Amino acid sequence: MLSSLYASDFTALDESLTPWDFSNILSPFNPTSPKLTSSSGSGEPNENPVMDGSNRNMEDRKRRRMISNRESARRSRMRKQRHLENLRNHVNRFRVENRELNNGLQFLLYQCNRLRTENEWLRLERTMLGQKLSNISQNMVFQPFSSAWPCNIVTAE
């Protein structure tokens, strides 16, 4: 985290030095100046050792947030994929149901036409039988009773 500075690193430190002199001693371009190391052990000098820890925390948070966002996106894609698969299943079921309902409708229309034709045929037959009955009735009214009728035949016993 924070670099550690030891008093032995500042042997040239004197009360007569000014802050500018101090910065020259710790200058990264001065090969004799002591190097500040980061807690990561990379050996690179840090310009601001106090900010190193917060930068690392920010990088860690950024990395965790990135991982979390990737995971969230993966879950979202999986949800979307499941939803699309569910919709495809619904479409397939509705197509099958639609086909079955269409077949049922065609069967009912066939039965309806068959019954309509049969009903027309029965009405026509009723009309013809009614006319025959009417003709028979008229013939009976206008013809006198004759012995030719089976009911008027007397048997000799």
Task: Please state the domain extents for the chain.
Answer: 1-47, 48-130
Is 35 in contact with 44 (CB distance < 8 Å)?
no
Tell me what percent of the chain is helix, strand and coil, each rounded to the nearest 5: 70, 0, 30
More confident: 81 or 43: 81
Residue 154: pLDDT over 90: no
Taking residues 47-60, report their average pLDDT. 75
Tokens of 43: 């050996």
Q: Which range among 20-34, 97-111, 128-142 shows the weakest confidence by mean pLDDT?
A: 20-34
pLDDT tens string 34-48:
444 444 455 555 555
Query: Which pLDDT score, from 0 to 100, does residue 38 have?
Result: 46
Taking residues 131-149, report their average pLDDT. 77
More confident: 46 or 82: 82
Q: Which residues have a Cβ under 8 Å from the Cβ of 12 and sit 6 or more positions away?
A: 25
More confident: 30 or 111: 111
DSSP letter at 18?
-
pLDDT tens string 116-139:
999 999 999 999 999 999 998 888
Query: Which pLDDT score, from 0 to 100, does residue 95 have?
Result: 98
